[in-house]
Amino acid sequence: MTALRIATRGSALALAQARWVAARIETQLAKSTELLPIKTSGDRLQGISLAEFGGKGLFVKEIEEAVLEGRADLAVHSAKDLPAALAAGLAIVAWPQREEPRDALVARERGTRLETLRPGARLGTGSVRRGAQLRALRPDLEIVPLRGNVTTRLQKLEAEGLDGVVLACAGLLRLGLADRIDERISTEVVLPAVAQGTLAVEARADSALGRSLAALSDAHAERSALAERAFLTRLQGDCNVPLAAFAEAIPGGLLRLRGLLSSPDGRTIVRGEAHGADAVATGEATAQQILARGGDQLLAQLRREAAR
């Protein structure tokens, strides 16, 4: 039996995620698998602002090309790395069960929480979304830009004299590093990235393989991802835009989606919230609220600044 070839980034986290999906394919679909690690443009541009070179799409472009060219049968992505638009001819065919969606504080002094960080503490993050919300929460903090994989960022905690770093809980959990988490930051304090903690399985659109891979989907993960990505698409979000969204189930079979759009310094934050049964409509309604509350002007300003 020919093994299904799974395209993935080559970092320890990406490989752990791909192996997790591979195990479910082998168990649920009784198909053998093999991994095809690919070094993406985003991986090669270490130490450089991704926003200047194409944003999140740099982490998926070469992986999508491998599927389109037939070198791989499917791809596994961190869903938060996906741009709003996928490559033509491809589709997300499965959204497996979501891991912990919150952000994590990893502190140099164990047991420290955001609220107990010393005044003027140096906090590292590679995310404009996190940086904006952290500045709004604690204007006294010095936010230090970070690039690199999870291990590299943890090493910089000591090497660069940081008081803490903020990462996705999901990545730490998938790497067996749960004990490094000092605080799982409430979504009421820092709203997560779109689809944070969710994996996306991508294959050729309308393919027999894609239809069989749909068995890997978790209904709530899929619904939440569709809502959050509809929010992203409506706002045409990219790496230059500090936005966040989080969907959760509420009674009555409804979704509650909270979203925000911020200036990078955190001084202007526009929030929206919608409840609904239809995931995409709920995401779009939340985005429309933000646009109507001044988000359209903020987006225009962010894009003018990015174009300079």
Catalytic positions, written as ranges? 81
Spatial separation of the C-alpha atoms in residues 223 and 200, rounded to whole Å = 13
Per-residue tokens: 185? 């930051």
Q: Do residues 261 and 273 lie in contact, with contact meaning Cβ atoms separated by under 8 Å?
A: no
Nearest CA-CA partner of 33 in 201, 219, 150: 201
DSSP string, 62-124: HHHHHHHTTS-SEEEEEGGG--SSPPTTEEEEE-PPP---SEEEEESSTT--GGGSPTT-EEE
Backbone angles phi, psi at 236, to 5 degrees: 50, 50
- Give the Cβ contact number of residue 225 at 10 Å: 27
Question: Largest Cα–Cα distance of the chain, in whole Å?
Answer: 60
What is the token pair recorded at 159?
């090497």
- Spell out a b/e string for 101-119, using b for 16 or more CB atoms within 10 Å of the CB, else e: bbbbbbbbeeebebeebee
Please give the distance of CA 83 from its chain centroid, rounded to a whole number.
Answer: 10
C-alpha dist (Å) from residue 235 to 193, 295, 296: 14, 9, 9
